[in-house]
Amino acid sequence: MFEFEVAGNNRKAEKAQFLGKWLWILFWLFIPGVIASIMVNENIASLFPALFVPGQILQTICQLIYGAILIKASDWDSRYRISGVIVIAANILSIALEYVFAGNEEVLLLMLIPLGIAGLVGEYYEYMAHSDVVKEFDEEIAAKWKKLWKWYIGSFGLMVLSIVLMFITAILGLLAMLVSAIALIVVSILKLVYLYRTAKAFRDYTDNNTDITQNGFTGNDF
C-alpha cells in the first residue's frame, strides 16, 4: 500500500514539474501574441502598413509554438494533442486562405467559418484539459476553467448573432458585435490569468516538495 502511495506521489510530482514548466511558457507566449495581434489589426495596418507582414510572422510563430507545447503536454491529457493540432492547422490554413482569396472578402469569410468552428473545438479541449490536470492541485482554478469555457462559447455565440443582425438592422448588429468583442477580450484576459494560476499551482507544488526533500523529510520518516 505504501509503495502505491509513493508511486502516486512521484507521478504527481513529475506531473507538476513538467506542466509547471510548459504552461508557464504558454503564459509568456501571450505577450508577443498580443503584440502580433495589434500589428495585424486592420486599423493599425492601415496606418502602419509595414507592420502587417512582421506581425503576421510573429503571430504565426507564437501560434505554432503554442500548438507544439499543447501537443507536448498531451502525455498528461490526450485532449491537449487535439487542441494543439487544431491550433497549428487552423493558423496555417487561415494564412493560406487569406493569400488565396485576397480581395474577395465574401468568399474568404465563408472559407474561414469552418476554421472558426474548429478553433472553438480546440479551445474546448484546451480548457477541459487544463481543468482536469490541475484539479488535484487546485480545485478552485479547475472549476474556473470550466466556467470560462461557458463564457467563451457565450461570447462566440454573440459574435455569430451580431453577424446575422447586421443583415437585419445595422445598429443592433454593430451593438452586438461591440459587446461580443468586449466579452472576448475579457475572456482572453481571464484565460491569461488562469494560465498563470494553473502554472503557479504546479510550480508551488514542485517548490514545496523540493523544500521538504532538502530539509530531509522523506516517506521513510513517517
Query: What amino acid occupies position 108?
Result: L
Q: Where are the domains of the chain?
A: 2-214
Q: What is the pLDDT of residues 75-101, one digit of tens each?
A: 999 999 999 999 999 988 888 887 777
DSSP label of 1: -
Q: pLDDT: is 199 or 211 the higher one?
A: 199
Cα gap 220→206, rounded to integer Å = 19
Q: What is the pLDDT of residue 112?
A: 73
Q: What is the 3-state secondary structure (H, E, C) of 55-84?
A: HHHHHHHHHHHHHHHHHHHHHCCCHHHHHH
pLDDT number for residue 108: 67
| pLDDT tens digit sequence for 36-78 | 888 887 777 778 888 888 888 898 999 999 999 999 999 999 9
Give the pLDDT confidence of 168-191 residue by residue, as tens digits: 877 888 888 888 888 888 998 999
Q: What is the pLDDT of residue 101?
A: 74
Question: What's the whole-model pTM score?
Answer: 0.83
Q: Is the pLDDT of residue 198 over 60?
A: yes
CA 62 to chain centre: 11
> Is the Cα torsion angle 107, 185, 156, 33 positive or negative in sign?
positive
